[in-house]
Homo-oligomer: A and B are copies of this chain.
Amino acid sequence: MSSTFGQVFRIHTFGESHGGGVGVVIDGCPPCIPVSLEQIQQELDRRRPGQSDIVTPRNEADTAEILSGIHDGLTLGTPISIIVRNTDQRPGSYDEMAVKYRPSHADYTYDAKYGIRAPSGGGRASARETIGRVAAAAVARQVLDTLNPGIEILAWVKSVHDLNADVDPATVTAETIESNIVRTGDPAMVDVMIERIKTIRTDGNSIGGVIECVIRNCPPGLGEPIFDKLEADLAKAMLSIPATKGFEIGSGFAGTLLTGREHNDPFHMVDGKVRTTSNRSGGVQGGISNGEHILIRVAFKPTATIMTSQETVTSSGENTELSGKGRHDACVLPRAVPIVEAMATLVLTDHLLRQRCVAVVR
């Protein structure tokens, strides 16, 4: 039950960092949606290693192949399966790690859960698993564009370590974000963030930060009001991304410092539409979108892999030490931006299709 996401637009991811490859099966995609392999590949390229000199130098081309569900550029309504072959595997780099549990990785917990573990690398806990999510979201993106044109979903690096970007969620553009390798929305912070990441990497250390994501032009009425609240499904989606430790919507934790009088969003009419004059709700009220910008933030801890000797234990229960090796990200945030967008896109697409089931007939 563990690798399925979504209720109507359902994705099933599979694959480990070793073995034949990784991928995804998308079930529940409406038919007649235009989808091209290029669009999928483009999104995969945004998350792949080796794309710039501040991410891991592993060179994984991550070339997508569509096995089914799309013909002549249109979805058939049948399951869409996409695979990406594993290539640049260097099991040798991981030999020591097969025996010693890497601190703050999933080595020990996989052993505790399954009694067996992939012999090298992160196995299923590898970030390669997110390839399937990103590929599926590229398809979902086309569903949104076809069924409800105008919805924009943009994420950017809000902070790296203690460096904060100043970004206006209402106006920031994809061009601005993609114009720099950090993927921040604040041009003034690009150089200092790059500098920080490189310094940390040189030190064999790692850092985290916060990614912010906005959904603009979301129609009101999406989200199921009890357990599958839009913010609840977004929270789950974000906390399912490796290395995340926190989630906020709208005012978030800072909102606990306001009184109700300060926090409430007054309604008023604008061009015949119900709008709010402030947006501390973050675009969602009672679990359902209200038509304002949906604004969320996700906390990413520093990468667990560091090039320092650390205390740990072996799988046979002996205290030992382990020094990080291999080629990893000193800061995952630039590559996590497309993953945050992907998960937000999957949640929104699923809720858009769910809403069709129960839509009022007038």
- Nearest residue (CB) in B for A206 is B260
Known: A103-B267, A104-B281, A251-B301. A355 touches B113 (CB 8 A): yes
The stretch among A51-59, A179-187, A219-227, A334-342 that forms the contact with chain B is A219-227
The complex is assembled from copies of this chain, and their number is 4
- Nearest residue (CB) in B for A220 is B112
Binary flags per residue of A64-105, CB closer than 8 Å to B gives 1, else 0 = 011111011011111111010000000000000000010111
Evaluate contact between A360 and B2: CB separation under 8 angstroms. Answer: no
Q: B residues within 8 A CB of A345?
A: none
The answer to whether A170 has its CB under 8 Å from any CB of chain B is: no
Evaluate contact between A263 and B2: CB separation under 8 angstroms. Answer: no
- The minimal Cβ–Cβ distance linking A223 to chain B, given in whole angstroms, is 8
Interfacial residues of chain A within 305-329, with CB under 8 A of chain B in the complex: 305-306, 308, 310-313, 317-319
- Nearest residue (CB) in B for A85 is B67
Q: B residues within 8 A CB of A113?
A: 77, 220-223, 225, 288, 355
Interfacial residues of chain A within 174-220, with CB under 8 A of chain B in the complex: 200, 205-210, 220
Q: B residues within 8 A CB of A200?
A: 259
Give A207 to B264 CA distance when docked, in angstroms.
Answer: 11
Known: A77-B116, A263-B104. A255 touches B124 (CB 8 A): no
Known: A124-B76, A306-B261. A2 touches B228 (CB 8 A): yes
Q: B residues within 8 A CB of A262?
A: 302
Binary flags per residue of A242-254, CB closer than 8 Å to B gives 1, else 0 = 1011111111110
Known: A106-B225, A282-B245. A71 touches B266 (CB 8 A): no
- The minimal Cβ–Cβ distance linking A295 to chain B, given in whole angstroms, is 11
Give A112 to B77 CA distance when docked, in angstroms.
Answer: 12
The answer to whether A12 has its CB under 8 Å from any CB of chain B is: yes
Q: B residues within 8 A CB of A14?
A: 25, 27, 67-69, 78-81
The answer to whether A19 has its CB under 8 Å from any CB of chain B is: yes
